[in-house]
A and B are shown apart, each in its own frame.
Chain A
């Protein structure tokens, strides 16, 4: 087990892989290559507690600096991989160095999708993916400032909530007819929309962005045929998988590096995990997931396979979002054809929506209802059928349903 392992991309999946590789007995050298200036850190708090200045930067880091030395990891920060030479089993870096590997793990993550409309490159238009992004945004994210948020997904709405809390004047522009349309069912969209409006956020649905204007920096956003004065703009319109390195090396990759259930790419010496992958979900279809759960679980499976103990990956995906005092927790993947069952009353600000498919629970969306989420997740994993009437009856404790 003295193989040389190189990991490209230093995020959540990478650090999990390091930890699991060592736990599984890999004793050989590990080199971890990261483009950013920071060792692996948590991204979820960036749009929440970190933006709100409630969490200092050192608390974002997933491990202490001492960890890398103790774990025998050569951590190369501010370093970019340029190409993979599969025949020679080396990774070439942009600084000309070449890293030989016996096994390679790609945890390259995803990057933000950028707007291409006129004026989209004006200063004052921000994106949110990294510590550096938030630090840049902070300088303009000031009480009283007028912020336009493009996209009412997780990032957009989390920033809207933080902005409202901090006293910014927040307007959200969303091209679809409801908020978080890609992530949650209509009942939750309605609920979160109402919460944002209550907090003073102006949410404009069915309003696509046409462009930006300003001299030297953004001063106006053009959307829905109107011009709105703004001081800053935050764009949250999704991410793109970083699969180019793999694709250019001839690995199977189409909107994500294609991997099997052991996180193996089309080259048996190269593995991939996290946001950068396109993998087989529990139901056998290829999918891309952008979440901490997939980064962690797929990295664990990659480490198992890389140490000769392959185990099929079929974990239930889970997601969360914090907006105001609301904790949204989702397990499983919903489909539009699912039968929806509501449990609890949204007016109590504690409720959930279960998704039934062929009588079995396929997904659960829970707001301030951690027990519905936890037990729902367990029932999804077990493939359990639960009658809709039972789920809908809040008088029957969730614990009893889960037994």
Chain B
């Protein structure tokens, strides 16, 4: 059995969802499998739709791998982009991200 670590997605209305994400899976995959509302992930993780947009809580932003060109380009056009915006399909779960916290934007549609 693969190791899994905790990730918390906080909905726009404040409801938190703490889920287990297997090591190596993207945060988006974990959210989709656990039915976190607001993470639609239309494209299934191909970095092509920006419907898995999240705001990373300040404590965690520095612990993430930097964005690649594709993620930068996608986020340029996502609604409600902030400096701490990331696409959750591009973040792989590792031990160092155990207990990561992020917020889900108001609308992904």
| Interface set of A (CB-CB < 8 Å, partner B) | 16, 19, 23, 42, 44-45, 59, 62-64, 66-67, 70, 292, 296, 318, 320, 327, 329, 368, 370-371, 373-375, 378, 399
Contact = CB atoms under 8 A, between A and B. Distances in A.
A292 B49 CA distance: 11
B35 A59 contact: no
Given A19-B40, A59-B29, A70 B35 contact: yes
Nearest to A402: B76
Main secondary structure of the interface of A (DSSP, over half): helix
B42 A64 contact: no
Contacts of A370: 47, 69-70, 72-74
Interface string B15-51: 0000000000100010011110000101110111100
A16 B73 contact: no
A327 B43 CA distance: 15
Given A70-B35, A329-B48, 16 more contacts: A63-B33, A64-B32, A292-B43, A296-B49, A320-B46, A320-B48, A327-B70, A368-B69, A370-B70, A370-B72, A370-B73, A370-B74, A371-B76, A374-B73, A374-B74, A378-B77
Contacts of A368: 69
B46 A64 contact: no
A64 B35 contact: yes
Nearest to A67: B35
Contacts of B43: 292, 296
B35 A66 contact: yes
Contacts of B42: 16, 296
Given A59-B29, A70-B35, A44 B77 contact: no
Interface string B80-99: 00000000000000000000
A292 B25 CA distance: 22
26 contacts: A16-B42, A44-B46, A45-B44, A59-B25, A59-B29, A62-B44, A63-B32, A64-B33, A64-B35, A66-B35, A70-B35, A292-B43, A292-B46, A320-B48, A368-B69, A370-B69, A370-B72, A370-B74, A371-B69, A371-B76, A373-B73, A374-B74, A375-B73, A375-B76, A378-B77, A399-B76
B63 to A, nearest CB: 24
Given A62-B32, A66-B35, A371-B69, A42 B76 contact: no
Contact residues on B (Cβ < 8 Å of other chain), bracket: 20 to 34
Interface string B54-75: 0000000000000001101110
B44 A374 contact: no
Contacts of A45: 44
Nearest to A371: B73
Contacts of B29: 59
Contacts of A399: 76
B109 to A, nearest CB: 8
Contacts of B73: 370-371, 373-375
A109 to B, nearest CB: 16
A327 to B, nearest CB: 7
Residue among A23, A327, A329, A370 with most chain B CB within 10 A: A370
Nearest to A60: B44
Contacts of B44: 42, 44-45, 62, 292
Residue among A44, A45, A59, A320 with most chain B CB within 10 A: A59
A64 B48 contact: no
Nearest to A59: B29
Contacts of A371: 69, 72-73, 76
Contacts of B35: 63-64, 66-67, 70
Contacts of B48: 318, 320, 329
